[in-house]
Amino acid sequence: MAVTATTVAETCAAAKRAARTLGSAPTEAKNAALEATARLLEERTAEILEANAADLADERAAGLSAALKDRLTLTPERVAAMAEGVRAVAALADPVGEELERKTLESGIDLRKLRVPLGVIAVVYEARPNVTIDCAALTIKSGNAIVLRGSSYAERSNGALAAIVREALAEAGLPEDAVVLLAGGGHEELAELATQEGLVDLLIPRGGEGLKEAIKAVATVPVMYAAAGNCHVYVDAGADLEMARQIAINAKVQRPGVCNAAETLLIDAAVAPEFVPAILGELAAAGVELVGDERVRELAGEVEVGAATAEDWDREYLELKLAVAVVDGVEEAIEHVNAHGTGHSEAIVSGDAEAAEEFVAGVDAAAVYVNASTRFTDGFLYGMGAEIGNSTQKLHARGPIGMRELTTFKYVAHGDGQVRG
């Protein structure tokens, strides 16, 4: 393995030095590194799959669920998809140096607000080796260095992948320490990473509430959580019920394990007698376990609906389970969403423009959908090229975290001797 990390602080310091070079590297050099990464991924697929096989054969992997094992597994197709993703990032416009504003101050100073890289970005992620490549590609193109801290389950896979990116950086004449992989280690290492003030400019934890709480407790560096989504679909009195049916099913069933999938269905009392039995039957037929409030359960007919507990409204199931409630109008729907949602993606189905507008204005979330599924919140679908996660924070980045969200800006002022009077 080409990556021999020493201490966390030393690794971060090396990344910081590399970041300065990468921050002013020309677009061509960054693209050359990405092209080389894609090529090496293809040339070395066998080597990558071998490392991955070793991770999968490790006794620690034996305890993983089928779903987690699937996420850890690489195939020739998945490696090819990574290479394709890297080339897609290379094709994106370089965000660095973009002039966001320009004005001449009263004093005659020429003031420009220019987009610049953040510096060093640390990403803590789950056992999905492709994240290693996805994140490294985005940070290289945006002129940042990255400190990767993957799962120990994927140690060998991540090592092989990081080594390829480092080789590609060197080939392009860029510092290989712009991509560094921490050697594994436990909570102590995580705490050390989260406290590298002055070296780590942004820490992005991807993962569940446990990781979030662990980092919240110790972090002193700036953190952006790629966080949980407790998303709602609200079927308004003015909804086209066939459309509502399709959206509700899609938001829950199409891919239940992701953060923009729906976890709660809210139905206006005016359409509940007609809509509730039909949608619950269809959801149950799709294998969805249902819990509901009293009004839902009364209307459920022969469909089995458990009694929702207080916790159910706050749960991100990430599986085929859905909480269902009847509400009295859009105002109550908004109250419910704001009280229980995580500010990720929320949808209203309604033909009533006024109700839709009220929902859009009242709901406090990164993305609000009118007559569309919550499943569309995604950096790629939003035309941002790729994403490193989804932010439910309000500061800096909200929604998909793409390349621009990995930058900051700098005011650059040129004068000819101006002093303040």
Stretch that binds a second copy, among 60-68, 84-92, 148-156, 395-403 (CB under 8 A): 395-403
The least CB distance from residue 155 to a second copy, in Å, is 30
Q: Which is nearer to a second copy, 3 or 356 (CB)?
A: 356
Is the CB of residue 283 less than 8 Å from the CB of residue 248?
yes
Number of Cα atoms under 13 Å in the Cβ half of residue 246: 6
**Residue (of 139, 165, 148) closest to 2 by Cα position:** 165
Stretch that binds a second copy, among 1-9, 67-75, 175-183, 408-416 (CB under 8 A): 408-416
Cα→Cα distances 320→26, 193, 236, 238, 264, Å: 47, 35, 23, 27, 11
Q: Which of 27, 130, 152, 393 binds a second copy (CB under 8 A)?
A: 393
Q: Which of 4, 75, 107, 309 binds a second copy (CB under 8 A)?
A: 107
Asked if residue 9 binds a second copy (CB under 8 A), the reply is no
Asked if residue 154 binds a second copy (CB under 8 A), the reply is no
Residues in the chain: 421
Q: Which is nearer to a second copy, 91 or 109 (CB)?
A: 109
Q: Which is nearer to a second copy, 46 or 109 (CB)?
A: 109
Q: Which is nearer to a second copy, 7 or 107 (CB)?
A: 107
Asked if residue 105 binds a second copy (CB under 8 A), the reply is yes
Beta bridge partners of 226: 206, 391
Asked if residue 411 binds a second copy (CB under 8 A), the reply is yes
| Residue 39, SS3 per DSSP | helix
Asked if residue 67 binds a second copy (CB under 8 A), the reply is no
CA 20 to chain centroid, in Å, comes to: 26
Backbone φ and ψ for 124, nearest 5 degrees, come out as -105, 125
390 CB-near residues (< 8 Å, 6+ apart): 226, 227, 229, 259, 260, 344, 366, 377, 378, 379, 399, 400, 401
Q: Residues touching a second copy: how many (CB under 8 A)?
A: 66
| Residue 91, SS3 per DSSP | helix
Q: Which is nearer to a second copy, 67 or 412 (CB)?
A: 412
Strand stretches in 118-261, DSSP E: 120-124, 145-149, 179-181, 202-205, 231-235
Q: Which of 23, 184, 185, 277 binds a second copy (CB under 8 A)?
A: 23
| Residue 221, SS3 per DSSP | coil
Stretch that binds a second copy, among 32-40, 178-186, 313-321, 379-387 (CB under 8 A): 379-387
Residues making contact with a second copy (CB under 8 A): 20, 23-24, 103, 105-107, 109, 111, 118-119, 201-202, 216, 220, 222, 224, 240, 243, 246-247, 249-251, 254-255, 356, 360-362, 364-373, 375-377, 381-383, 393-396, 398-399, 408-421
